[in-house]
Structure 1
Amino acid sequence: MTTNAPAPVRRGLRGLLPASPAQRILTFATFANSFGGGMFTTASALYFTRVVGLPAGQVAIGLFGGAMAGLMAGVLVGRLADQWGPKRVQVTVMLCGGAVISCFTLIGSFWSFFAVSLVAGMIIPADVASKAPLIRSVADGNPTVLIGYLRSVTNLALAFGSVVAGFAIQIDSRPAYLALVICRALAYVGCGLILLRLPGIAAAAGRRERGWAALRDRTYLSATLANAVLSLNYAVPGFLLPLWIVAQTSAPRWVVSAVLVLNMSFVVLLQVKVSRGVHDTRTAGQRMAWAGTAFAAGLTLMALADGPSRWTATGMLLGGMAVFALGELWFAAASTQYCFGLAPAHLQGQYAGVFGLGSGVVQAVAPAVLSLLPLGMGLPGWLVIGALLMSVGLGSRLLVAWAGRTRPTA
C-alpha cells in the first residue's frame, strides 16, 4: 500500500499528480474517460464490421453523420455550462455518454447504427465545451499548463486502453468486442461519478445571459479559423501516415506503429514542459509560428520517404515524425492559450464551443483533403499541405498582434 511505502516513494507518487485536490480529481476522471476511449476507438470499426456486419462504407457514413451532428452540440452545451455550472453539465454529459454508447450493443442494422451514431457524435464536442469552464475554474489561473498535463494523461490512458483492446482483437469474438463497448460505457459513467467529488462550482454567466457573444467576436473567430486550419495536423499520424507508409514507401510495416508510439511519447513526456512557456497570446502566436514551420519540415521529410531504400525510408519517417510531433506540442499549447486567453471568463463554455466548432469542421473533412492531396498527388500534395500549415502558423502571429491592438485580452 502507498501508506506503507518509503517516504521518497510517497513523495515521488505525489509529485506525479497536481497539488490541488480539485485538479487531482479532474486528472483521475480524465484518465478513466480516456482509458475507455482508447479501448473503444481501437476496436470500434472491427466491432461494427465483424460483429454487427455493416460494410465499411456504411460505418464511415454513420460516423460522418455523428461528426456533423456534434458540430453545434459543443456550442450549445458550452453555453449551458456557463449558465448552469460546468460541474453539473459535465457530469450530465458523461452519464449521457455512458447511456448512448451502451446502445451500440443493441444495434443490428444500418439505420439503428446511424441513429445511435448521430447522438454519440454529440458527446465528445459536448464534453470538450463543458470541460473548458470546469478546467478554468480549478486551474489556479494557468489553464494552459493544466491542459498540457491533462493531455499527457489522456495520451497515456489512450495507450493503455489500446493495449487492452488489442487482447479483444486477438480473441476476435462477439463477447470480446461487446465487453469493450460496455467498458467504454462504464468509463463514461465512472468519469461522471469521479467528477461528483469536485466542490460545487457556481455558474460563471447569469441564466439570463443573452446572445452569442463568441459569434460576434471577430478576434476570437479569427483565432478559431487559424486554429481550425492547423488542426489538420491531427489527421496525419492516425490517417495519412499508415496509408502512406504501407502503400508508397519501402519501410517495414511495423514503422506504422513506431511513428504512432513516437508521436504519443512526445506528448506524454514533453507536453507539460512545452506548455509552461505559453502564458499569453503573444507567446501563443509565437508558438503557432513554430508549429507551422515544424509541420512543414516534418511533412517534407515524411514525403521524401517515397523512393529511398528500406532503412533510409524508415529513418526519414521517424525523423519526420519527431519534428512533426514537436510542432504538435507547440500547437496544442498555443491553441489552449487562444481558447482561454481570448475568452471572457464568464463565457468560457460558449467560447470553447465555438473554438471547437472550427476544428471539428476541419477534422471532419481532413480525410478527404489528405486523400486528395498527399495520397493522390504524392510529393506536390505533401508540399501544398506543409505550405498551408506554415503560412497559417506564421500568419497567426500577425493575428495576435492585431487582437492586442483592437481589444484587451480577456
Structure 2
Amino acid sequence: MLWINLVDKTGSGLWLSITALYFVVVAGLDTASTGLLLGLGGVAGIAGAPVAGRLADRLPLTRVLLAVQVVRAASGLLLLFAHGFWQLLPLVALGSLGERSASVLTKLFAARVAGQDRARYQAVQRTVVNLGYTLGGLAASAALAAGTTTVYRLLLLGDSLSFVLVALLVARCAEPPSATRTVAVGAPVTTAGTAARAGTVTSAGTAAPAATAPPPRPAGPWRDTGYLGYAALDSVMFLYGCSLTVGLPLWIVTRTTAPHGLAAAVFVINTVLVVLLQVRLARYGNSPRVAANSLRQVAVWFVLSCAATAVAVLHTRWAATVAVVAAAIAFTVVEMIQSAVSWELSVSLAPAHLQGSYVGVHGLAQSTSRCVGPLLLTSVVIAAGPAGWLGLGAVLAGAALLQRRMVLRRLDRPGAGVAEAPLSVVPITFSEQ
C-alpha cells in the first residue's frame, strides 16, 4: 500500500500544481468561474468519506478501492475532452468524490493491516505521501517552463494514468482482515456477528459455546453523539491545514514586509519537516490514551503558530521573515502531532464491527474544513488582522482541550469497547461439514 500511495500522490502532485491554471489556460474559464467550479466540486467530495466507509464495512475493501481508482482515472481522462463550466463541473465533482473516498479507504486498509502499530504505519505513510507530492510538484514545475496547453494536458494525462496504475496495484493486494469478515474453512465466509450467534466448532470437532452477547453498542456513527462530537471538534482543528496552505501565504503577501518568495517556501519547509520528523512524532498517537493526552501539546502548538503569524506584521523585514518561518515550522509541527492523534482516535474510538462507517463519518471533518476553511480565513481571520490570528489560535487550542476531555471521558467509561487490539489476526470459523 505504500507503493500505491507513492504512485497516487506523485500523480496528484502533477495535477494539484496546475489545477486552477488548467481551467483558466486550457478550459478557458475566468478566475471567478474557476473558483466556483473548484468550490462546488469540493462540496461533492464531502459525501465520499461516509459512503466509502459504509461500503468498506459491507464489501471487500480492496474491491471498493479498485472501483474508486477506476472512477478517478475516468474523471481525469474525460476532463481532457470537456469544455465549458457545465461539462467540467460533474467531472470535477466526481474526481473530488473519488479523492476523498480513496483517502478513507487507504486509511482503513492501513488500520486493518497494521493493528496496534497503526500509528507508526500512518507516519511512514504520510512521509511517502509527502514524497509523492514533492516528486509530482517538481515534475510539474519543470514541465510548466514550456507553458503550452499541450504541457497542461500531458500533466493531467499523467495524473489520470497514475490512477490506472494504482488500480492495477490494488487488484494485486490481498484483502486485509476485518472484524466484519471472517475466513471459513470448508464453509462459505460468514460475518463475525453470525458466528457469534450460532457458536463455533473447534478444530477438534467439538462445539464451542456461543459467545456471550456483547454490551449494547450504537447502531451507527450517526447515533453515537460522543463520536460525532469528537469528529466535529476535529473539523475545527483541521483548520490548521487551510491556515498553512491559504492563510499564511496570503498573509505574507498582503500584510507583511517579508519577501513574497516565502509564500512558496512555506510548502518546502512543510514537506521537508514532515519527511524528516513524521515517523519520530508518531509516538504521540501510540495508543488512545497517549493520543488523548497529546492534545495538550497540540493546543500549545496551535497558540504558538497563530501567535507567530500575528507577529509577522512587524515592519522590520528580517523580523517579519523570522516570524513567518517560525509560523511555518509551528504549523507543520502541529500538523504532524495532530494527524497522529486524529488517526489513532478516529480508528480506536470506533466499534470494530462498524469501523468503516465510523472512519467514513470522521472523514467528513477534514472535507468540511477544506470547504469552509478558505472562506473563514480570508473573510474573518485575515480581515481582522493580528487579532484574528490570535483569536483563531485560542479557538483551535480550546477545541483541542475540549476534545481531550471528551475522549478521556469516553475511554474511562465502563464497556467503552475501544479498539485497542490489533486487527491483523482474522477469526476463523470451522464448519461442521
Range moving further from structure 2, 193-202 or 54-63: 193-202
Give the counterpart letter for 2:57 in structure 1.
Answer: D
State how far apart, in whole Å, the 2-side matches of 1:277 and 1:377 are.
33
Does residue 235 of the first structure (1) align with residue 242 of the second (2)?
yes
SS at match of 1:91: helix
Whether 1:97 aligns to 2:106 is no
Match of 1:34 in 2: 9
Letter in 1 for 2:160: A
Name 2:337's counterpart in structure 1.
Answer: 330
**How far apart in 2 are the matches of 1:243 and 1:216?**
40
| One-letter amino acid of the structure 1 residue matched with residue 370 of structure 2 | Q
For structure 2, the 5+ residue unaligned runs are: 182-189, 194-217, 420-433
Superposition pairs of residues 4-403 of structure 1, within 5 angstroms: 26-201=1-176, 204-205=179-180, 213-403=220-410
Separation (CA, whole Å) in 2 of partners of 1:67 and 1:333: 24
Deviates more, 1:95-104 or 1:278-287: 278-287
8 Å CA contact 1:282–1:397 kept in 2: the answer is no
**Helix, strand or coil for the counterpart of 1:139?**
helix
Query: What amino acid does structure 2 have at the position aligned with 1:34?
Result: K
- State percent identity of aligned pairs: 28
Task: Measure, in 2, the Cα distance between the counterparts of 1:327 and 1:82.
Answer: 31
Distance in 1 (CA, whole Å) between partners of 2:380 and 2:284 is: 34
Structure 1 residue 371, shift from structure 2 partner = 0.8
Structure 1, unmatched stretches of 5+, are: 1-25
Could you state the TM-score of these two structures normalised by the residue count of structure 2?
0.85
Deviation at 1:151, TM superposition (A): 0.5
Q: Deviations over 1:191-212 (max 9, x none)?
A: 1211222223466436999x96
Deviation (angstroms), 1:150: 0.5
* Count of aligned pairs between the two proteins: 384
The 1-side partners of 2:288 and 2:167 are apart by 32
* Shift in Å, 1:176: 0.2
Question: Any idea what SS the aligned residue of 1:53 has?
Answer: coil
Q: Secondary structure at the match of 1:252?
A: coil
Paired letter, 1:231: F
Following superposition, the deviation at residue 189 of structure 1 comes to 1.2
Deviation at 1:139, TM superposition (A): 0.9
User: For the Cα contact (< 8 Å) 1:373–1:382, is it kept in 2?
Assistant: no
Corresponding residue for residue 417 of structure 2: 408
The CA distance in 1 between the partners of 2:279 and 2:172, in whole Å, is 25
- Superposed CA deviations along residues 78-114 of structure 1, whole A, max 9, x for unmatched, are 1111211111111111111111111111111011111
Q: Which AA in structure 2 matches 1:340?
A: V
Alpha-carbon distance between aligned partners in 1 of 2:47 and 2:381, rounded to the nearest angstrom: 30
- Distance in 1, Cα, partners of 2:279 & 2:120: 6
Contact 2:231 2:365 in 1 (8 A): yes
Q: For the Cα contact (< 8 Å) 1:296–1:387, is it kept in 2?
A: yes
Partner Cα distance (1:277, 1:189) in 2: 35
Whole-angstrom CA distance in 2 between matches of 1:112 and 1:98: 17
What do the CA deviations read for 1:298-341 (whole angstroms, capped 9, x no partner)?
11112111133111111111112212211111101100011111
From the two aligned structures, give the one with the greater helix fraction: 1
Is the contact between residue 284 and residue 337 of structure 2 (CA under 8 Å) also seen in structure 1? no
Write the distance in 1 (CA, Å) between the matches of 2:266 and 2:101. 30
* 2:72/2:94 contact within 8 Å kept: no
Query: 1:291 touches 1:327 (CA, 8 Å); kept in 2?
Result: yes
3-state SS of the aligned residue for 1:253? coil
CA contact (8 A) 1:144 1:275 kept: yes
Provide, for residues 2-28 of structure 1, a one-character-per-residue CA deviation record: whole Å limited to 9, x for no partner.
xxxxxxxxxxxxxxxxxxxxxxxx110
CA displacement at 1:140 relative to structure 2: 4.2
CA distance in structure 1 between the aligned counterparts of 2:266 and 2:45, rounded to whole angstroms:
30
Per-residue displacement from partner, 1:21-66 (whole Å, max 9, x unpaired)? xxxxx11000000001111001111111011110111111111112
State the superposition RMSD in angstroms.
1.8
State the match for 2:430 in structure 1.
Answer: none
Cα distance between partner residues in 2 of 1:44 and 1:363 = 16
Q: Distance in 2 between matches of 1:400 and 1:239?
A: 30
Letter in 2 for 1:291: V
CA distance in 1, matches of 2:233, 2:385: 25
Q: Decide which structure has the larger Cα Rg and report it.
A: 2
C-alpha distance in 2 between matches for 1:153 and 1:340: 21
Q: CA deviation at 1:374?
A: 2.5
Q: Secondary structure of 2:332's match?
A: helix
